[in-house]
A and B are shown apart, each in its own frame.
Chain A
Amino acid sequence: EAGVTQFPSHSVIEKGQTVTLRCDPISGHDNLYWYRRVMGKEIKFLLHFVKESKQDESGMPNNRFLAERTGGTYSTLKVQPAELEDSGVYFCASSPWGTDNYGYTFGSGTRLTVV
């Protein structure tokens, strides 16, 4: 089966611009998560979708970040306007819904550089 796909793999944008990251989860996975790793720091949770609904968005840093998951399939994470501190690697992960699903499948990440 295809894994979790993220694109672009790299993005370099100027401060103040808008960037949209996309994640395609494994087909049939209801859970979709976004994480971010800022240089030199821990990987941190951003938000969790169950199908098209936001289950937990407690990790979203501020209102410049907007995540959507239309139809419960792919998800987008938009940063508008981007700031320097938004640079980092953004990971998406997915997992099936249910009680016996431990551990996600992660994508390869999108490396965002804001200059």
Chain B
Amino acid sequence: AQSVTQLGSHVSVSEGALVLLRCNYSSSVPPYLFWYVQYPNQGLQLLLKYTSAATLVKGINGFEAEFKKSETSFHLTKPSAHMSDAAEYFCAVSVGGSQGNLIFGKGTKLSVKP
């Protein structure tokens, strides 16, 4: 069965510092993996997705994630944090391919200090 583990419910970085949000997955089949972001008082927005093409995936707002099969990881990174990146980030794996439902991690709240 598929599952997702996000390490760290809260991460705090300084503005301009590297952002690293960790996600490990468990899947018995090649996974489709996603990162979503939820800004305060808004819905979930797709940041990026891995669908078995390139292992390094670039998303919106300067974020990227690397699929590492050997480590069953899909960590999210951004070289330089901005105050506007403060939000909650969710890693998810798709059950049953592109049309299937998603299994989410518990989420990681990112705080950015000036």
Contact = CB atoms under 8 A, between A and B. Distances in A.
B50 to A, nearest CB: 9
Report the contact-size class of chain A (Cβ under 8 Å from the partner). Answer: 20 to 34
A33 B105 CA distance: 18
Interface in A13-29: none
A48 B42 contact: no
Contacts, number: 54
A106 B104 CA distance: 14
Interface residues of B, number: 24
Contacts of A59: 101
B43 A103 contact: no
Interface of A: 4, 31, 33, 35, 41-45, 48, 56, 59, 91, 93, 95, 97, 99-109
